[in-house]
Amino acid sequence: MAGFAILSVSQLNQYIKSVFESDQGLDSVYLRGEISNFTNHYSSGHLYFTLKDAGAAIKAVMFKGAAAYLKFKPENGMSVIVQGRVSVYPRDGVYQIYVNDMQPDGAGALAVAFEQLKRRLAEEGVFDEEHKKPIPQYPAKIGIITSKTGAVIQDICNVLTRRFPAVEAELYPVQVQGAEAHKQIIAAIKRADAEKSCDVIIIARGGGSVEDLWCFNEESLAWAIYDCETPIISAVGHETDYTIADFAADLRTPTPSAAAELAVADREELLYRIAAFSLEMRLQVESRIRAYRGTLEKFSDKQRQNIVEMYIFQNLRRVKELSSIIEREKNIHFARAREQLRSMTLLLDSVSPTRQLLGGYAAVSRESGRITSAAEVGVGEEITLQFSDGSVCAKVTEVTLERKGD
């Protein structure tokens, strides 16, 4: 073999690798294929698998840095589209594709991740009906976990006030969108549950894209809902939006307003039912009195007297027992009513215009009514400034208007 250069295996494989890497056509390729021989090296975070179709196969590796951005879990048999560079692994002398990105072939990555997590949590019993807690019929206090801004909290409070004004609502403000939102929601659930002051918790947010609602699809949030001892109503997105939180909650509603509707009874309906029940009871009592009167008329005066005395004697103790029960229930009812009245008084006092004046503010008016804008006042006009302890009359000498956008 004189005159021929003799290469080592390593030198040959390195040469072939350099040839592959000098080919720009192999620097970024897209492949469609089915995953097989999938291995997840949990210690390193690297993913190793084979990508195949009906006639061929190629080895593939996705390193930890790229795999961390996957929204779904690759599985054997899954059809995917990958992007990466083709090169040679010198140690084994085989070429493979080094994957930078991977997407499911067909359904989006988020849709696949949603179905994978939903299936796994269902197998672990997180969605089991026997675990779900009943929603109390007459809650005294409702915890609301949502953003402190926006229309959701206003919609919920408006419905609660309209249907059952006596109920108390407490807001646990959180972010409802973004990478850290689910951590805030979990913390709010744990806080409300630990305080033991709420009879039911509503988790709510308005509609949005799949990405906007994704914080409600986190596994840790599903387990927090599962572990919560206080019943939870999920009201995320619109009617067609479903999240993992919806399946984990004790009750799912299509909108935040619907959650408020189902959380409390309708005051008007309750009053109607009470009135109907009272009428039915009165009619039954009158009917029994007529029946007893007809029976007594069949006996002589002495017999009627004996029957009446015996009836009174037999039922006197029962009447005393019922009187005690009625008295006790009345006291309990009045105590609850007084507490609800106190809560409503404090709530009304907190939003009273007079309380706002105590902070140094004044209400401006003239004879024709309130003034809410500087543009309504003219130079030389007499106005009244109402403070918390009295009023002051003033004459306008100058009007300065702020330009919008300044």
Tens-digit pLDDT profile for residues 54-95? 889 899 999 998 988 888 888 888 888 888 999 988 888 889
Residue 43 has pLDDT above 90, yes or no: no
Tokens of 369: 């009514």
Q: Quick one: 120 and 176 in the same domain? A: yes
- Which secondary-structure segment (H or E) carries 24? none
DSSP conformation letters of 187-239: HHHHHHHHHT--SEEEEEE----TTTTGGGG-HHHHHHHHH-SS-EEEEESST
Q: Quick one: 364 and 230 in the same domain? A: no
Residue 48 has pLDDT above 70, yes or no: yes
The widest CA-to-CA distance across the chain, in whole angstroms, is 146
Orientation angle between helical segments 151-163 and 256-263, nearest 10 degrees: 30
Read off the pLDDT of residues 305-331 as tens digits, 9 standing for 90 and up. Answer: 666 677 777 777 777 887 788 888 878
Sign of CA dihedral 387, 392, 396, 397: negative
pLDDT for residue 384: 86
Q: Quick one: 97 and 32 in the same domain? A: yes
Domain with 307 in it: 300-351
Whole-number percent of the chain with pLDDT over 70: 91
Which amino acid does the sequence have at 329? E
Q: Quick one: 78 and 64 in the same domain? A: yes
Residue 127 has pLDDT above 90, yes or no: yes
Residue 167 has pLDDT above 60, yes or no: yes
Model confidence at 32, pLDDT cuts 50, 70, 90, reads confident
Orientation angle between helical segments 301-350 and 267-296, nearest 10 degrees: 170
| Residue 142 maps to a domain | yes
The neighbour count for residue 278, using CB atoms within 10 Å, is: 10
Model confidence at 252, pLDDT cuts 50, 70, 90, reads very high
Q: CA–CA separation, 131 vs 251, rounded Å? A: 12
Query: 286 by DSSP, 3-state: which?
Result: helix
Model confidence at 97, pLDDT cuts 50, 70, 90, reads very high
Q: Quick one: 338 and 367 in the same domain? A: no
How many structural domains does the chain have? Answer: 4
pLDDT for residue 305: 66
CA distances from 68 to 42, 46, 65 (A): 12, 9, 6
- Arithmetic mean of pLDDT, 233-237: 92
Read off the pLDDT of residues 270-287 as tens digits, 9 standing for 90 and up. Answer: 778 888 888 888 888 888
pLDDT for residue 63: 92
Q: Quick one: 184 and 120 in the same domain? A: yes
Residue 355 has pLDDT above 70, yes or no: no
Read off the pLDDT of residues 377-392 as tens digits, 9 standing for 90 and up. Answer: 888 888 888 777 788 8
Cβ pair 84, 99 in contact under 8 A: yes
| Residue 274 maps to a domain | no
Q: CA–CA separation, 394 vs 145, rounded Å? A: 47
| Residue 272 maps to a domain | no
Indicate the residue among 234, 263, 292 that finishes a domain: 263
Query: 104 by DSSP, 3-state: which?
Result: strand
